Chain A
Amino acid sequence: MEDTRLPNTSVDDIRPPRTSIGAIGWLKANLFNSWFNSLLTLAILFLFYQIIPPFIRWAFIDSLWTSTGKECLAADGACWSIIPANFRFIMFGFYPYEEQWRPAIAIVLLVGLLIFSQYRRNWKKYLFYIWLAGLVIMGVLMKGGILGLTPVETTQWGGLPLTLLLSVFGLTAAYPLGIVLALGRQSRLPAIRSLCVVYIELIRGVPLISLLFMSSVVFPLFLPEGVSLNAILRAQVAIILFTAAYIAEVVRGGLQGMSRGQYEAAEAIGLNYVQTMRLIILPQALKIVIPPSVSILISAFKDTSLVVIIALYDLLKTTQSILGDPRWMGFSAEAYLFVAMIYFICCFYMSNFSRKLERELDTGL
């Protein structure tokens, strides 16, 4: 057989040219693969050169980390001192100073629970009881009044715990309501279906802020004389009512994803409606909708910041009130960047988790 290889060259010697592998090859393929892309790359690099060094100088080199507001005014760089100097207030609001270890533990507990529940091997029945216990412990820690803990009025709750509680409690309480609404919307009974459709479309059609307004000015009128709910609970109710409509739509997506055969099979073995839903349909449908539910948790977490408008002291409002303090006026950029970072880390973590879950749960069906 004729040897088609070039004479005097072994296989080892025929390598790709140096310019198409390694760092140079990567650069050529990804940054300079056409004249337009080369131009774009150079323009962006120039922009980086214009923006990044001044930003680093502002944020790190010329910045102050432990000083008073007055000293900051004289400096050129960022005044990060606003964060450590007011850290406790930004984080916990008007919660009594000596008792702030309690919300701190509550936050750690909540974050621990969230991290614990992200592993699928922990998705067992006991997880539900752990959450129930966790939420009760958090409630006791925050509220006090028993076990020798000084009672703290809910009006004094604020900062990060308030943000977390409003969103996590909101989602937890809204989920059952959302499932009921979704089932109602899929129901064959016209009266129940139209009630659910009207509720869902009504809530999804209006901004959250209108519901929060309602919670602050209209809810008090709904209650009988002598009964009053405090502002935080009313806002929590508004958030639950709002989130439930969105959950209903997500769950409906899962229900519609079930094949007709599942219902027929359940009917064939003689299950009634409640049994069909509880044993056959919901376990499968809810599994499909876990990733979109995490997205709803992300929106709920971001949306709780709207309680600023009805003057609740959540994370954003505590930061704002620091900026209203004459000693720290004028350092909005630093303070808002810090709060934005907290929100970003939480949301980024959750959305990554949701994407990972989507890949894992995608069984190709």
Chain B
Amino acid sequence: MPQTEPPVPEGDAPSKASFWYDPKVRAVFYQIIALAMVGMLAYYLMSNTMANLERQAIATGFEFLEKQASFEIGESLISYTAADSYAKALVVGALNTLLVAFIGVVLTIILGTFLGIARLSSNWLVSKLAAIYIEVFQDIPVLLQLFFWYAFFYEMLPGPRQAINLFEGVFVCNRGLIFGIPAAHPAWKYIGIAFIVGCAAVYLLRRWAHQRQDRTGQIFPLVRVAAAILIGLPLITWWLAGAPTAMDVPELKGFNFTGGVSVSPEFTALLLGLVLYTAAFVAEVVRAGIQSVSKGQTEAAMSIGLKPGQVLNLVILPQALRVIIPPLTSQMLNLTKNSSLAVAIGYPDFVSVAGTTINQTGQAIEGVALIMAVYLIFSLSTSAFMNWYNKKMKLVER
């Protein structure tokens, strides 16, 4: 700022800070010191590690991934045997983590939204029950909850012979959750394709409807048409394929069930614990989001003649979601990270498989690095999504 500088007397040099008092020099100096300290710490740890590894004759590197794993994994989405490599075992673990995280996220959002709305209910009993649920489940460590549900399956539920029949064709016993599915039939594949085609059609329809609304102001009954497409298309396919109704229901044979699909107690306990715990946090997020939209918004929207459905869709939800989505994403990430507790109840997730690998090969550094890398990929991709979303949803100020 040359204008504000005091006039310098003729002949005198401008009062320049001496070399060591120049802020720029100091900044560089401090940064060099910081980097040097971190570098020295890293070097010290590295040299210790190298010396230790040499002494214990442990080879470094990721060659062990190609060796035979020679341990069984209880549950796997892809075919896996003990003769496969460690790399494949780790892939099985990662897929198991993704599976439990995906189902967990879907169920958590449903239960959390339900609880969040219940918390705001005008019914005193409903609101208080939701509040108690939220407080209790937030305040108990998730690991303890997992242990409880695990014990619940193995100790408190009866054996297959006395299995509890929840609904028609759904059984719960100490072997897990067993339920019937439609029997294999080629039609189901086409129905799946029909559903995906329906989703694509709805997406295109939505874009077209929005563009038309922007152009002409005419509103297209999107929800009803979309529901008709999503339900109708698979239904017609089902009917055209000869309407298969055969079910593969579980039946008690000897000491266990045959038929149907059975979900292991470990998986069910893990899912139950994670969902019930995280839903309590999601409920608070949803409640805060709904409360963040002031009542005046609803009243204003109604006063310009919008219908209740439109008020919700065009005024309330866009504003509430802007508040809800960021903390919701971080809760989903928490659920994914907490799914690593599977190792404590014996569900073969990524951490559990990596732990076994570390124990068998002694490749501790590589194993822990792999665990961290996998979870970092999850978190970094989530935060990339969040940045994209925040940019997209940023208030357009006019």
Which residues of A are in contact with B by a Cβ distance under 8 Å?
30-31, 33-34, 37, 40-41, 44-45, 188-192, 195, 201-202, 204-207, 209-210, 213-214, 217-218, 220-225, 298, 302-303, 305-306, 308-309, 316, 320, 323, 330, 332-333, 336, 339-340, 343-344, 347-348, 351
CB contact under 8 A between A209 and B379, given known A189-B30, A333-B156? no
Residues of B within 8 A of A210 (CB): 340, 351, 368, 371-372, 375
Residues of B within 8 A of A207 (CB): 337-338, 340, 351, 375
How far does the alpha carbon of A131 sit from the alpha carbon of B144 in the complex, in Å? Answer: 30
Tell yes or no: B53 within 8 A of A by CB: yes
Q: Of A44, A192, A201, A309, which is within 8 A of B126 by CB?
A: A44
CB contact under 8 A between A209 and B45, given known A31-B123, A217-B358, A225-B55? no
Interface size on B, residues (CB 8 A): 56
Pairwise interchain contact B52-A191, C-beta atoms closer than 8 A:
no
How far does the alpha carbon of A298 sit from the alpha carbon of B138 in the complex, in Å? Answer: 10
Pairwise interchain contact B144-A336, C-beta atoms closer than 8 A:
yes
Q: List 13 A-B contacts (CB under 8 A).
A: A30-B122, A30-B124, A41-B126, A44-B125, A205-B372, A213-B358, A221-B53, A221-B364, A222-B48, A316-B147, A336-B144, A336-B147, A336-B151
Q: Main SS of chain B's interface residues?
A: helix
Pairwise interchain contact A218-B364, C-beta atoms closer than 8 A:
yes
Pairwise interchain contact B122-A222, C-beta atoms closer than 8 A:
no
**Distance in Å: Cβ of A338 to nearest Cβ of chain B:** 11
How far does the alpha carbon of A305 sit from the alpha carbon of B35 in the complex, in Å? Answer: 35
Q: Of B125, B147, B337, which is within 8 A of A41 by CB?
A: B125
Pairwise interchain contact B156-A348, C-beta atoms closer than 8 A:
no
Residues of A within 8 A of B397 (CB): none
Tell yes or no: B31 within 8 A of A by CB: yes
Tell yes or no: B341 within 8 A of A by CB: yes
Pairwise interchain contact B141-A348, C-beta atoms closer than 8 A:
no
Given contact pairs A323-B151, A348-B135, a sample of 6 additional A-B residue pairs in the complex whose CB atoms are under 8 Å apart: A41-B126, A192-B34, A207-B337, A298-B139, A340-B148, A343-B139
Pairwise interchain contact B35-A191, C-beta atoms closer than 8 A:
yes
Residues of A within 8 A of B45 (CB): 222
Q: Mark B108-126, 1 if CB is under 8 A from A, else 0.
A: 0000000000000111111
Pairwise interchain contact A303-B141, C-beta atoms closer than 8 A:
yes
Pairwise interchain contact B355-A213, C-beta atoms closer than 8 A:
yes
Residues of B within 8 A of A351 (CB): 135, 138-139
How far does the alpha carbon of A323 sit from the alpha carbon of B52 in the complex, in Å? Answer: 38
Tell yes or no: B90 within 8 A of A by CB: no
Pairwise interchain contact A191-B31, C-beta atoms closer than 8 A:
yes
Pairwise interchain contact B141-A218, C-beta atoms closer than 8 A:
no
Pairwise interchain contact A309-B344, C-beta atoms closer than 8 A:
yes
Q: Which of B19-54 contact A (CB under 8 A)?
A: 27, 30-31, 34-35, 38, 45, 48-49, 51-53
Pairwise interchain contact A190-B31, C-beta atoms closer than 8 A:
yes
Interface hub of A34, A192, A323, A343 (most chain B Cβ within 10 A): A192
Q: Of A221, A303, A309, A320, which is within 8 A of B48 by CB?
A: A221
Residues of B within 8 A of A217 (CB): 358, 364, 367-368
Q: Main SS of chain A's interface residues?
A: helix
Pairwise interchain contact A209-B343, C-beta atoms closer than 8 A:
yes
Pairwise interchain contact A221-B139, C-beta atoms closer than 8 A:
no
Tell yes or no: B393 within 8 A of A by CB: no
**Distance in Å: Cβ of B171 to nearest Cβ of chain A:** 21
Give the nearest-CB partner of B47 in chain A: A224
Give the nearest-CB partner of B58 in chain A: A221
Give the nearest-CB partner of A298 in chain B: B139
Residues of A within 8 A of B152 (CB): 332-333
Tell yes or no: B243 within 8 A of A by CB: no
Pairwise interchain contact A221-B341, C-beta atoms closer than 8 A:
no
Residues of A within 8 A of B136 (CB): 344
**Distance in Å: Cβ of B39 to nearest Cβ of chain A:** 11
Nearest 7 pairs between A and B by C-beta? A332-B151, A205-B379, A347-B139, A30-B124, A191-B31, A217-B364, A207-B337
**Distance in Å: Cβ of B32 to nearest Cβ of chain A:** 8
Q: Mark B124-150, 1 if CB is under 8 A from A, else 0.
A: 111001000001101111111101100
Residues of A within 8 A of B48 (CB): 221-225
How far does the alpha carbon of A192 sit from the alpha carbon of B29 in the complex, in Å? Answer: 11
Q: Which of B345-384 contact A (CB under 8 A)?
A: 351, 355, 358, 364-365, 367-368, 371-372, 375-376, 378-380
**Distance in Å: Cβ of A25 to nearest Cβ of chain B:** 13
Residues of A within 8 A of B66 (CB): none
How far does the alpha carbon of A339 sit from the alpha carbon of B140 in the complex, in Å? Answer: 9
How far does the alpha carbon of A316 sit from the alpha carbon of B142 in the complex, in Å? Answer: 12
How far does the alpha carbon of A40 sit from the alpha carbon of B117 in the complex, in Å? Answer: 14
Tell yes or no: B72 within 8 A of A by CB: no
Residues of A within 8 A of B155 (CB): 330, 332-333
Q: Of B123, B141, B368, which is within 8 A of A30 by CB?
A: B123
How far does the alpha carbon of A206 sit from the alpha carbon of B49 in the complex, in Å? Answer: 22
**Distance in Å: Cβ of A302 to nearest Cβ of chain B:** 4
Pairwise interchain contact B379-A204, C-beta atoms closer than 8 A:
yes
**Distance in Å: Cβ of A253 to nearest Cβ of chain B:** 13
Q: Which of B147-185 contact A (CB under 8 A)?
A: 147-148, 151-152, 155-156
Pairwise interchain contact A214-B368, C-beta atoms closer than 8 A:
yes
Interface hub of A201, A209, A224, A351 (most chain B Cβ within 10 A): A209
**Distance in Å: Cβ of A317 to nearest Cβ of chain B:** 10
Residues of B within 8 A of A214 (CB): 368
**Distance in Å: Cβ of A50 to nearest Cβ of chain B:** 15
